[in-house]
């Protein structure tokens, strides 16, 4: 098990009572996503679509790498890794 | 008695609180800053409820005891993954007694029997035999109107765009389309009882069989609980519009007709609210205190409500962020302070009532 830091955008503040940064423990990237979904279902509703995938306009970065670019979510994670969620905003 | 007015906008919710005369108002907010607040209600037990939505993060229902501290309900309305339906917006929350209802997009109706902590779909409507052929209106495929017979809680109505009005006589188990007398807008190849574009329905508080319907194709009234509908447009500049409100004490009706479905703006740039004091037999324009030049703002279907005081207060939120209020049944109007984002809904609650 590794201890990761999760960072959320400000818009989700009401969903997590203002706690936009929090730690989770998981062995892999997939495990980290599943932990969030399982342990914080209200937050999970806003990050994941009905089919369990990330919502279309939600981005997730593991140490700065877009997780959609990864071939395998079974990637092991390590202590101190950062999982950053952002909304995909482009243009104006 | 003062009034608390919850206003849901494109960028958050706002609360107006009045003094007893409803003359002085102060504004609080925004709460859920940056979120669309698309539905607001207060349950019979005093709980405040709002529906929030985000194009990125989806939609949820939140509860509060005081309009300040909010908590997202843990098991809000949701579709099963295998349904391939997405829940994009909470359109209406109705929670008068122990059973609460929420109408959503994609169109569906959900019910809670545990004070909103969990919500279950009403399969008889959500999976109606015609469901696969339902088509959306311009605002999406949404269940936006919910009525409950105050004398018989097993009798319910639901308005869905662009499908029509459905009624259940068995507490939501089975549903029957109720659109006889209303012109169809989109004929379906398989089902002759869908393809009607209801915009809003409201019930006469003293006669549960009397229902009023602002439809895409005009203004209508039913005297038999929706079995038949008759057109009631005498005095209206147009039968086309979205919101409809009824004052429970005077039974006066309030509507906001638009030029047409093509233009969807007040005719001639005049912001006129129309009132009927004879159950829809005739309508008259109300203009005192309302802007009468160069106004092309709209009023969305959820953005008109009445406080049911005497004389009656009516609250109208516009797509350009103004809130207009009357505290004398519509004879004279004034604007509340502030210019808000596009207004989706207003809910007027009389304190101490």
Residue A55 lies in a domain: yes
CA dist B258 and B301 (Å) reads 12
Q: Domain total for chain B?
A: 1
Would you state the pLDDT for residue A90?
A: 65
Percent of chain B's residues with pLDDT above 90:
97
Mean pLDDT, residues A47-62: 94
Cβ contact B35–A11 (<8 Å): yes
Quick check: A92 pLDDT over 70? no
Quick check: A89 pLDDT over 90? no
The domain in which residue B116 lies consists of 3-350
Quick check: B348 pLDDT over 90? yes
Quick check: A43 pLDDT over 90? yes
Residue A9 lies in a domain: yes
Which pLDDT band holds residue B182 (cuts at 50, 70, 90)? very high
Quick check: A91 pLDDT over 80? no
Closest C-alpha to A60, from A82, A38, A27: A82
Q: Which of residues 11-70 of A touch B (CB under 8 A)?
A: 11-12, 14-15, 41-42, 45-47, 49-52, 55, 57-58
CATH number at residue A21: 3.10.20.30
Which pLDDT band holds residue B252 (cuts at 50, 70, 90)? very high
Cβ contact A15–B56 (<8 Å): no
Q: Which of A10, A41, A88 sits opposite B74 (nearest CB)?
A: A41
Residue A71 lies in a domain: yes
The domain in which residue A28 lies consists of 2-87
Give one DSSP letter per residue of A28-86, joined into a string.
BHHHHHHHHHHH-HHHHHHHB-TTSSBPTTEEEEETTEEGGG-S-TT-B--TT-EEEEE
Residue A32 lies in a domain: yes
DSSP H or E stretch at residue B316 = strand B314-317
User: Are the C-beta atoms of B15 and B25 separated by less than 8 Å?
Assistant: no
pLDDT per position as a tens digit, A55-85: 999 999 999 999 999 988 999 999 999 999 9
What is the pTM assigned to this prediction?
A: 0.96
C-alpha distances in Å from residue B336, one per residue of B268, B309, B316:
24, 18, 10
pLDDT per position as a tens digit, B254-287: 999 999 999 999 999 999 999 999 999 999 999 9
CATH number at residue B255: 2.130.10.10
A73 contact partners, CB below 8 Å, separation of at least 6: A28, A29, A30, A33, A67
Residue A67 lies in a domain: yes
Q: Domain total for chain A?
A: 1
Strand A2-7 with A82-87, pairing: parallel
Mutate to test the interface with A, among B32, B57, B90 (most CBs of A within 10 A): B57
CA dist B297 and B158 (Å) reads 27
Quick check: B209 pLDDT over 70? yes
CA dihedral B303, B308, B314, B318 (to 10 degrees): -10
CA dist B253 and B117 (Å) reads 34
Would you state the pLDDT for residue A81?
A: 98
Mutate to test the interface with A, among B72, B73, B85, B106 (most CBs of A within 10 A): B72
pLDDT per position as a tens digit, B99-131: 999 999 999 999 999 999 999 999 999 999 999
Residue A92 lies in a domain: no
Residue A27 lies in a domain: yes
Would you state the pLDDT for residue B102?
A: 98
């Amino acid at each position: 098990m590794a201890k990761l830091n999760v960072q959320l955008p400000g818009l989700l503040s009401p969903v997590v009572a203002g706690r936009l940064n929090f730690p989770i423990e998981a062995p892999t990237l997939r495990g980290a996503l599943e932990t969030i979904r399982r342990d914080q279902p209200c937050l999970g509703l806003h990050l994941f679509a009905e089919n369990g995938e990330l919502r279309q306009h939600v981005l997730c970065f593991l140490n700065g790498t877009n997780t959609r670019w990864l071939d395998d979510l079974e990637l092991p994670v390590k202590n101190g890794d950062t999982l950053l969620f952002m909304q995909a905003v482009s243009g104006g | 008695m003062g009034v608390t007015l919850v206003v849901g906008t494109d960028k958050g919710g706002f609360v107006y609180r009045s003094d007893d005369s409803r003359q002085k108002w102060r504004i609080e907010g925004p709460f859920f800053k940056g979120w669309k607040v698309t539905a607001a209600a207060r349950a019979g037990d005093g709980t405040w409820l709002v529906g929030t939505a985000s194009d990125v993060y989806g939609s949820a229902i939140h509860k509060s005891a005081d309009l300040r501290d909010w908590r997202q309900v843990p098991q809000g309305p949701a579709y099963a993954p295998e349904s391939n339906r997405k829940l994009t917006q909470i359109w209406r929350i109705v929670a008068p007694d122990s059973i609460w209802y929420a109408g959503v997009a994609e169109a569906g109706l959900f019910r809670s029997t545990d004070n909103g902590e969990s919500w279950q779909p009403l399969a008889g409507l959500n999976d109606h035999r015609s469901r696969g052929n339902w088509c959306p209106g311009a605002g999406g495929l949404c269940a936006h109107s919910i009525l409950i017979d105050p004398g018989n809680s097993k009798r319910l109505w639901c308005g869905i765009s662009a499908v029509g009005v459905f009624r259940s006589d068995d507490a939501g188990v089975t549903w029957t389309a109720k659109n006889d007398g209303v012109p169809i807008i989109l004929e379906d190849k398989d089902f002759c009882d869908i393809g009607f574009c209801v915009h809003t329905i409201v019930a006469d508080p003293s006669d549960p069989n009397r229902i009023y319907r602002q439809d895409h194709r005009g203004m209508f009234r039913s005297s038999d609980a929706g079995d038949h509908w008759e057109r009631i447009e005498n005095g209206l500049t147009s039968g086309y519009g979205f919101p409809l409100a009824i004052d429970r004490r005077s039974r006066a009706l309030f509507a906001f007709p638009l030029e047409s479905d093509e233009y969807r703006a007040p005719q001639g740039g005049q912001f006129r609210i129309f009132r009927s004091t004879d159950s829809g037999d005739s309508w008259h324009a109300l203009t005192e205190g309302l802007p009468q030049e160069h106004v092309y703002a709209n009023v969305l279907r959820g953005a008109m409500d009445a406080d049911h005081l005497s004389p009656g207060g009516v609250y109208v939120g516009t797509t350009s962020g103004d809130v207009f209020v009357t505290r004398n049944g519509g004879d004279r109007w004034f604007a509340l302070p502030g210019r808000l984002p596009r207004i989706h809904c207003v809910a007027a609650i009389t304190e101490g009532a």
